[in-house]
Structure 1
Amino acid sequence: MKKVVIVLAALFGGGAILAAALVGGMYYWASLDLPDFKRITDYNPPLVTTVYARDNRVLGYFYKERRFLVTIDELPNHVSRVFLAAEDSGFYEHEGVDLLAIFRAFVKNLQAGHVVQGGSTITQQVIKSLLLTPERSYKRKIKEGILAYRLERFLTKDEILTIYLNQIFFGARAYGIESAARTYFGVHAKDLSVAQAALLAGLPKAPSKFNPFADPEKAISRQHYVLSRMLDQNWITQEQYDDALAEELVFKSMEDPSWHQGAYYLEEVRRRLIDHYGEDRVYNSGMHVYTGVDLTHQVAAERSVRKGLEASARRRGWTGPNSHLEEEQRETYLTENPFVVEALEPGEWIEVLVSEVEKDQALVRFGEFKGVIKAKDLSWARTPDPSKATEDVPPVKDCALVLKSGDVVWAEVKAVPPSVLNPGTKAPKGGPVWELALRRRPVVQGALVSIDPRSGEVLALVGGYSFAESQFNRATQAERQPGSAFKPIVYSTALDNGFTPSSVMLDAPIVYTDSETDKVWKPENFEGVFFGPTLLRNALCKSRNLVTIRVAQRLGVRKIIERAKALGLEADFPEDLSVSLGSAPVSPLNLAQAYTAFARGGSIVKPRIILKVESAWGDELEINEPEYSDAISPQTAYIIASLMKEVVRDGTGWRARVLKRPVAGKTGTSNDEQDAWFVGYSPYLLSVVYVGFDQLTPMGKYETGSRAASPLWVDYRMAVEAEYPIEDFPQPPGIVMARIDAASGLLAGPKSEKTYFLPFKDGTQPTETAQDGGGSGPNPSTSSKGEDLLKQIY
């Protein structure tokens, strides 16, 4: 008996040694190529970069994996508990490996004849997700266990659970609990109910199989299992369990604002971030980017640009239908393009099929509905002719000259039929008929930039008619000739070199020959006529080209270019007189920066699109404080602002008078009406509008800054002015006001017929008084002034 015991003890001891050796050998074998688990401690998953408006509303996201970082302390207790119930109820007790769970999995796999259950703890799942391949093998399982055990001695349980909740995939492009909450319930993870959290906890096991959008029954069945596990663990009460089972789940995704409102602004942010941080960091690091965009301003600016460009396109006439369908194609088209008319509102555009055309109206169809376009609602649809303005051509009165049956065209909803608005209203025989107006999509493009000149924040930025159709940002990337919008820069230079608002210059023909090329340049005023002796005030107010050129001659081109660069303009300026008429191309954003000097009393402020950038963990990466640079004197800035107020009150910027508050402005038009500009500002808001074709093409007769650009500016500003109190430009020390005779530029006398109340730098105001009743020329009593005018001719 004693020998048997000895033999059994020897066998047991040998077996134990052999088992220990086997375990040790397996440990050594599995440990040979283990990855460094410490990499997990610097958890840095691909995260969504979020871009915020100035009021912290989300403008958009940049990402490759849709994951938002959250921490355990940001989540209610039940959210983390449901995942423990579903995946690892003993998480806070084990040391990274749950041997009992592994044994259960081993038995089930043995019974099934293949691997059907893993028995992995949450720690092991983190290891598998971040360090190992997803293959199902015992070798990988051993590696998992070894690394999980080591990781638990390096990180706290809460840190491991935080990694798990942010790392796991929930299907539908959702990575992490926050993204899943937004994707399936349209809420943030911190707002999930027990029932909602339980459903999400059931997804990681098989995201496609339990996807509630695809198979809600399976998803809810899995949710019931998770809730029962919560109840078994006493983590919820019976009442909470019953309430969760009874809760009606509504599956909906949180709206992604990206590339909808503010798409051009968002794209400019993206470009700047990539230039600074690189594409990989922008799309994966989860930065928080705070911008200057004001969504109220942005929406108003986008609407104004679209409306203005559509009106511009109509002024050029009708370019034809979108397409034309033969008889046999029409019913198929209507069937394949259904409409939900309840969603249609006045002002919305729809694509319609012309079914019948008469002289006074065209009948159309869209989906199963009918509409009518009356002759008065296509009266603009003339044959295009750039040499004729819209008022030069009689309105179209015959629909048959524009449309024919089978045409597919754009139409704008003018009014919703009463029977659609009020279902109880009796519809006419044959169903309701929608009143529509013919429309065409514009080819002409435009841009709008709006800046707070006090801080440099770019409140709105629109780079074209439609970001979906063209991502080229004309507000920042297009450089076009500003035309007369450059003249305030010329006149600000003049004010610092002996000129005053009452200086008299000759508006007469001028011929300029380039000494290098022998090319002859014969500039003209827009009107094609000459106005003789002209006050500097009137030259700017009425945008007189010939006076501006003579001022530039007196100053020298070099001084004007130096002033433009001091104001921050980055153009390649030609060293000739054409620069005074805005021949050097600039972007709308750059021109806006130059004008900030006039709006803020002499110093320019750099436009700020990105205000601050933080890492995913809240560390500050970048902060852009306002950058100011002195450019001109406060007195010069004030005089220019006062003269540009005259442009609005009495000149080409007259449309801005509708604001009924102090506004300074300047129109600009390049040769052949290829580019149209309007720059207008108050002390609190500076806005620039540009309109023109992408390919240099005349927009048509009278398509000037006043007609083509200023309506967009006015429409935008009318929508946002109520946000600001009425404010005028403060008068700095060193300015005196004087009433000037409009004809002579001298102090107004008793017989002066027309006068202007103008600002002057102290000591530069006229001292002589006009002696007669004015007239159209300078006062002949001053011989030196007459001699000066003669010098301007010869």
Structure 2
Amino acid sequence: MKERVITVLKKHPKKLLVLAVLLIAYYFCLPKVLFNTPTATVIESMQGELLGAKIADDGQWRFPVVDSVPFKFETCLLNFEDAYFYRHPGFNPISMFKAIGANIVAGKTVRGGSTITQQVIRLSRENKGRSYAEKFIELILATRLELGYSKEEILNLYASHAPFGGNVVGLEVASWRYFGLLPYQLSWAEAATLAVLPNAPSLIYPGKNQSKLLVKRNRLLLKLQDEGIIDDTTYELALLEDLPQKPYALPNYASHFVQYVAKSKKGERVKSSIDQELQKNVNAIVKKQYNSLKQNLVYNAAVLVLDVKTRKVLAYVGNAPTDKYHEKDVDMVQANRSTGSVLKPLLYTAMLDAGELLPDMLVPDVPTQIAGYAPENFNESYSGAIEAKKALARSLNIPAVRLLQSYGLEKFRDQLDVFKLGGLNKSANHYGLTLILGGAESNLWDLCKSYANLASTVNHFNKSSSEYFKKEFVAPTYLQKSTIDFGAKSQDKTVFDAGSIYLTFEAMKEVNRPEGSESWEFYDSSKEIAWKTGTSFGNKDAWAIGTTADYVVGVWVGNADGEGRPNVTGVSSAAPILFDVFDVLPKSIWFAKPLDEFVTVEVCANSGYLATEICPRITIDIPKKQNYVHACGYHKIIHLDQNRQFRINSSCEDLSNTITEPWFILPPLMEFYYKRTHPSYKSLPTFRDDCISVLTPTMEFIYPKNRSRIILAKNFEGKMNELILKLAHTKPESKVFWYLDSTFIKETKDFHEAAILPDEGDHTISVVDELGNEASIIITIQ
């Protein structure tokens, strides 16, 4: 045998070389990639249902290749186009001879003998004509295709690239466009209609040649009946079905999500983590609220829902169902906007973590001016002093600013880098103390991500052996099969410890807000949710972000063009959407307390500072770390007469006759506002008349502050407005005498205010009460 081969090689070397070249050419004649045409970006839900799609770059609705062809369509297609598909090697000689004969008799091409395999080749070569030379090339390539691909793969290629009329390419798009169904949901009549369309795609246009399409479809149905594939009843019912008319719109449940995914997954089929039913529910909630919001000329809203444990995106509504005039195409989940108050919980957590704050610690809430910056609470009122956790729950601005100043602006700004908040890219000096009130920008995606990371920190700490994960702060994923890598376990916290985060969430559970109680019908008390609202300056942005152990929901409401509207607040505009979304989510349990991160301490019951021997005490749990909060300084020992009516001292009474007791004393300005809402607060008693008074601050200027620079504005009549001076006195009923540069102005009682119109330059404002107590400030009029 070996000798015979050698003999043949010697006798016919050229023929064998040519044969080898032909075989090599045949092997490489089929392109590695048959179809280079662009495809649409197709996004599916976690259940595999179509959420939406973005058209291909060439303007065709062409989905990526399907992974299977439904039985009904395959049956119809093979009976119409290629009955011997599973038996031929890529071409059917009998069909070809019949077609040649028919074409010779007719004198033109009236019939084709191409198999489905050959049609796939023709489609990949972009229909280069119907000449016999082209047919020969198709035949060669078809046989090569059969050698390299399975029959199922060839069928998939055909079903994905066959023309179905207009810019509809492929079975999947055709099924949606003409019947509004998935391919496997098609009836026999619908499958038969689509099976005959690629043979004559122009027949699909409504009102044009549809009689021919009907004849083709019914002839195919009759063949299916004759072959015993469908029974008589199915055949009769199929004949009664109408042909498609006006094309259906493709599903569009998450258009902005589709656009977002298409940036990195262009032309791909993506099975996302979106929950189809939840997405529909959130869409309905946003639409309902939009119909109400637009009455106030508010046209845009966005919602994002994340799974805390998997960090997957469960729902994504990039905008309200508004119109193009109102920026309907802008994805407000990704748009950077003023953060309002939604960064306050991060500051609260940071200070707890640093040992510089206790939950019940009193924080001043009084008129404040810091380096020319005068923050105001949303409700334009003051509480004098308030517990830190209540200040967070009420979203009070002045306590937040004062805490930020105390903690350190630069330190907090540097910590925010860990959260990788888009839009927050400038230095601490650029933002100043407004950073905590919306002076910075970020987006719903990154803010929700940050809250999810905090929630997950507590979850992981409780479920592990009181450990943290090194990669806790990661971006969410929208891919169904994606698994987040949280990294290795560690004894060291990532940013904040679990105890500080837990206490922050506990504070955020409180539902009291300064805006009042008018909106709490939206709160379901059976669900424990840590949530925070925010409103940017000028009512341009309304935020609401809430978290449980399982879910984070973020909401933004406003106008995409930046126009502010009255009454657009986090509470009134965003919170209703937040709680409606939580209502359609499965009920979630509250966070377990990370016990290993806590230590028990005694604090003063009145001030929340570390307890001293002279104040009433309570026991609380705080994060286990070095604590830098000092002991309570608001309690002092005072000496009272036997009737407990006046203070006394050694100048007027033998101290053995005094009653000594601790007294809770706030500074005058804090006391001035504090006792308005705390009837039980007792002001410090005055000294008895025969006693020499010990110097104790009794008065403090509310406005202006010492060393203030003030510009007096003109009114509509062109006259200069007066400067209103305001004073707090521990005994408002006392008489106070006002002086401007040693010149007497007026006397006040009960309400201590005075109006002046000073010249430009420096001025000294002095006050003296009837007991001789004095206070003064220096201001500059510019």
Which TM bucket (shorter chain)? 0.5 to 0.7
1:666 — aligned with what? 532
Provide the C-alpha distance between the structure 1 equivalents of 2:281 and 2:146, rounded to a whole number of angstroms.
55
1:27 — aligned with what? none
Distance verdict in 2 for CA 1:175–1:740, change over 3 Å: same
2:498 — aligned with what? 634
Corresponding residue SS for 2:30:
helix
**What CA deviation, in whole Å up to 9, does each residue of 1:48-97 have, x standing for no partner?**
5432223333212234343464467x543x75454444334455565545
1:594 — aligned with what? 450
2:413 matches 1:561: yes
Q: Which has the higher helix share?
A: 1
Provide the C-alpha distance between the structure 1 equivalents of 2:245 and 2:273, rounded to a whole number of angstroms.
27
Corresponding residue SS for 2:395:
coil
- Which residue among 696, 715, 721 is the counterpart of 2:580? 715
Amino acid corresponding to residue 576 of structure 2 in structure 1 = P
Distance verdict in 2 for CA 1:739–1:713, change over 3 Å: farther
**What CA deviation, in whole Å up to 9, does each residue of 1:767-786 have, x standing for no partner?**
879756898479999xxxx9
2:365 matches 1:507: yes
1:681 — aligned with what? 547
Provide the C-alpha distance between the structure 2 equivalents of 1:106 and 1:493, rounded to a whole number of angstroms.
83
Provide the C-alpha distance between the structure 1 equivalents of 2:229 and 2:435, rounded to a whole number of angstroms.
82
Does the 8 Å CA contact 1:69/1:178 hold for their aligned counterparts? no
1:477 — aligned with what? 334
2:311 — aligned with what? 456
Distance verdict in 2 for CA 1:759–1:226, change over 3 Å: same
For the aligned residue pairs, the C-alpha RMSD in angstroms reads: 4.5
- Which residue among 279, 289, 295 is the counterpart of 1:298? 279
2:622 — aligned with what? 760
1:410 — aligned with what? none
Structure 2 runs not aligned, ≥5 long = 1-21, 459-467, 488-492, 636-661, 666-670, 676-680, 685-695, 707-782
2:425 matches 1:572: yes
- Which residue among 479, 487, 492 is the counterpart of 1:611? 479
Provide the C-alpha distance between the structure 1 equivalents of 2:437 and 2:87, rounded to a whole number of angstroms.
80
2:347 — aligned with what? 490
2:228 — aligned with what? 237
2:558 — aligned with what? 692
Does the 8 Å CA contact 1:638/1:732 hold for their aligned counterparts? no
Query: Could you tell which deviates more after superposition, 570-579 or 253-262?
Result: 253-262
- Which residue among 151, 165, 169 is the counterpart of 1:171? 165
- Correspondence 1:255-334 to 2 at 5 A: 258=250, 260-270=252-262, 274=263, 276-277=264-265, 282-283=266-267, 287-314=268-295, 316=296
How far apart are residue 557 of structure 1 and its match?
0.8
Distance verdict in 2 for CA 1:99–1:53, change over 3 Å: closer
Does the 8 Å CA contact 2:358/2:608 hold for their aligned counterparts? no
**What CA deviation, in whole Å up to 9, does each residue of 1:509-532 have, x standing for no partner?**
33333xxxxxx3222233334433
Structure 1 runs not aligned, ≥5 long = 1-29, 317-441, 514-519, 614-622
TM-score by length of 2: 0.65
Does the 8 Å CA contact 1:493/1:559 hold for their aligned counterparts? no
**What CA deviation, in whole Å up to 9, does each residue of 1:202-258 have, x standing for no partner?**
333222237797555433422354456668xx8x23984785366333545999785
Amino acid corresponding to residue 645 of structure 1 in structure 2 = K
**What CA deviation, in whole Å up to 9, does each residue of 1:346-398 have, x standing for no partner?**
xxxxxxxxxxxxxxxxxxxxxxxxxxxxxxxxxxxxxxxxxxxxxxxxxxxxx
Does the 8 Å CA contact 1:668/1:678 hold for their aligned counterparts? yes
- Which residue among 94, 105, 111 is the counterpart of 2:99? 105
Query: Could you tell which deviates more after superposition, 765-774 or 152-161?
Result: 765-774
Corresponding residue SS for 1:484:
coil
1:118 — aligned with what? 112
Does the 8 Å CA contact 2:196/2:216 hold for their aligned counterparts? yes
**What CA deviation, in whole Å up to 9, does each residue of 1:519-573 have, x standing for no partner?**
x322223333443333323332333322222222222211111222223334024
Paired residues, number? 597
Amino acid corresponding to residue 425 of structure 2 in structure 1 = D
Does the 8 Å CA contact 2:90/2:139 hold for their aligned counterparts? yes
1:208 — aligned with what? 202
- Which residue among 591, 596, 617 is the counterpart of 1:733? 596
2:607 — aligned with what? 744
Provide the C-alpha distance between the structure 2 equivalents of 1:218 and 1:132, rounded to a whole number of angstroms.
26
Distance verdict in 2 for CA 1:265–1:258, change over 3 Å: farther
How far apart are residue 588 of structure 1 and its match?
1.8
- Which residue among 704, 720, 723 is the counterpart of 2:569? 704
How far apart are residue 636 of structure 1 and its match?
0.9
Does the 8 Å CA contact 2:379/2:514 hold for their aligned counterparts? no
How far apart are residue 193 of structure 1 and its match?
6.0
Provide the C-alpha distance between the structure 1 equivalents of 2:115 and 2:196, rounded to a whole number of angstroms.
15
2:438 — aligned with what? 582
Provide the C-alpha distance between the structure 1 equivalents of 2:178 and 2:138, rounded to a whole number of angstroms.
31
Provide the C-alpha distance between the structure 2 equivalents of 1:46 and 1:537, rounded to a whole number of angstroms.
56
How far apart are residue 637 of structure 1 and its match?
0.5
Corresponding residue SS for 1:498:
coil
Does the 8 Å CA contact 2:449/2:476 hold for their aligned counterparts? no
1:378 — aligned with what? none
Provide the C-alpha distance between the structure 2 equivalents of 1:736 and 1:556, rounded to a whole number of angstroms.
25
1:249 — aligned with what? 241
Provide the C-alpha distance between the structure 2 equivalents of 1:102 and 1:144, rounded to a whole number of angstroms.
12
- Which residue among 11, 33, 43 is the counterpart of 1:51? 43
Query: Could you tell which deviates more after superposition, 553-562 or 113-122?
Result: 113-122
**What CA deviation, in whole Å up to 9, does each residue of 1:608-628 have, x standing for no partner?**
242247xxxxxxxxx352557
Does the 8 Å CA contact 2:347/2:404 hold for their aligned counterparts? yes
**What CA deviation, in whole Å up to 9, does each residue of 1:147-183 have, x standing for no partner?**
4455555556565455444433233544344554555
Does the 8 Å CA contact 1:292/1:611 hold for their aligned counterparts? yes
2:691 — aligned with what? none
Does the 8 Å CA contact 2:206/2:244 hold for their aligned counterparts? no
- Correspondence 1:167-206 to 2 at 5 A: 167-171=161-165, 173-184=167-178, 188-190=182-184, 197-206=191-200
Provide the C-alpha distance between the structure 1 equivalents of 2:173 and 2:293, rounded to a whole number of angstroms.
43
Provide the C-alpha distance between the structure 2 equivalents of 1:98 and 1:657, rounded to a whole number of angstroms.
71
Provide the C-alpha distance between the structure 2 equivalents of 1:112 and 1:509, rounded to a whole number of angstroms.
98
How far apart are residue 309 of structure 1 and its match?
4.2
Does the 8 Å CA contact 1:567/1:631 hold for their aligned counterparts? no
How far apart are residue 584 of structure 1 and its match?
0.8
How far apart are residue 491 of structure 1 and its match?
1.9
Provide the C-alpha distance between the structure 1 equivalents of 2:364 and 2:186, rounded to a whole number of angstroms.
76
Corresponding residue SS for 2:596:
coil
Corresponding residue SS for 1:485:
coil
Amino acid corresponding to residue 483 of structure 1 in structure 2 = G
Greater radius of gyration (CA): 2
**What CA deviation, in whole Å up to 9, does each residue of 1:8-63 have, x standing for no partner?**
xxxxxxxxxxxxxxxxxxxxxx99x9996412786677555432223333212234
TM-score by length of 1: 0.64
- Which residue among 52, 62, 70 is the counterpart of 1:66? 62
Does the 8 Å CA contact 1:502/1:536 hold for their aligned counterparts? yes
Distance verdict in 2 for CA 1:704–1:111, change over 3 Å: closer
